Amino acid sequence: MRALVQCVSEAQVSVEGSVIGRIGKGFLVLLGVGAGDTEAQAEKLWRKIARMRVFEDAQGKTNLSLADVGGDVLVVSQFTLYANCRKGNRPSFTDAAPPDEARRLYERFCMLARADVPRVEQGAFGAMMDVSLVNHGPFTVWLDTDAL
């Protein structure tokens, strides 16, 4: 699994002009599920994200976690995190999980987040979405379970 985690002051996701998820301070997680990914990887990835100390403390040091700041989470599925651009100019997505498996692990990841965070919003799996955010910092972290 792969995640692009952005610290945000606010973020929202819309489908066909209607906002379906909106958060304040917290994380926007763009989540990609790869072929062969497992529930164990979803759990490992969520644990890493939940415990990351990337929010500033009173001294301006990145020492605080999502729980420490009472942050929200917005999770948006993004199979394009598995784009392979080695050949030609059109990305291949064959490394992404098949849609049914990706949806199952995406929902599992969101369920894990909801167990730890009071406010978790999500995008619409497989839909064309518009995502807007105010990236705080800016602070963006790339995570891949193959490297954790």
SS3 assignment, position 48? helix
H-helix or E-strand spanning residue 51: helix 39-51
SS3 assignment, position 22? strand
Longest dimension (CA), the chain: 49
SS3 assignment, position 118? coil
Q: Which of 79, 122, 125, 145 is catalytic?
A: 79
Rounded Cα distance between 72 and 127, Å, is 22
Residue 41 known to be catalytic: no
Residue 78 known to be catalytic: yes
In 16-146, DSSP assigns E strands to 18-23, 26-32, 55-56, 62-64, 72-77, 120-122, 130-144
Q: Which of 78, 122, 125, 145 is catalytic?
A: 78
Residue 80 known to be catalytic: yes
Which residues participate in catalysis according to the annotation?
A: 78-80
